[in-house]
């Protein structure tokens, strides 16, 4: 048993030395990337730009109509063009028009019914257009 432990310790030392070598290589690579980027690894948000998406909801109405939309929490307003709705009594995937979202803003999915309407929303997500 002692021999086995010594063998494991030896293997662990070799593994640690190999990992230290990988760490050194990664640090050198990172230093080169930083040098190529002029010392800045965080690109400005404006350079990344906005992005086009579609809002989707998997939902059904039990009566009337179920509605959904994206809400821009950062701008404190609904995202125009993301309104979706259905009066189908079967679960359906409903997709909005393509809209442009602002990088860095926070968005929420909102769903609702009007008056005596009822329904179910199983899930929602945003997909790139």
Q: Measure the CA–CA gap between 126 and 120, rounded to whole angstroms.
A: 19
Q: How far is CA 17 from the centre of its chain?
A: 37
For the entire predicted model, the pTM comes to 0.62
pLDDT in tens, 59-117: 999 999 999 999 999 999 999 999 999 999 999 999 999 999 988 888 999 998 888 88
Q: What pLDDT score was predicted for residue 27?
A: 58
> Which region, left, alpha or beta, applies to residue 16 given φ > 0 means left and ψ of -120 to 50 means alpha?
alpha
Most confident of 41-50, 83-92, 119-128: 83-92
pLDDT in tens, 14-23: 545 545 554 5
């Amino acid at each position: 048993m002692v021999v086995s432990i010594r063998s494991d310790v030896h293997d662990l030392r070799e593994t640690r030395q190999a990992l230290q070598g990988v760490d050194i290589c990664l640090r050198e690579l990172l230093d080169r990337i930083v040098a190529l980027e002029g010392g800045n690894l965080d690109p400005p948000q404006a350079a990344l730009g906005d992005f086009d998406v579609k809002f989707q909801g998997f939902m059904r109405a039990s009566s009337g109509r179920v509605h959904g939309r994206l809400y821009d929490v950062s701008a404190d307003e609904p995202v125009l063009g993301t309104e979706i709705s259905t009066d189908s009594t079967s679960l359906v995937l409903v997709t909005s028009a393509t809209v442009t979202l602002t990088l860095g803003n926070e968005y929420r999915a909102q769903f609702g019914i009007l008056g005596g309407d009822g329904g179910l929303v199983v899930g929602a997500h945003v997909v790139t257009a």
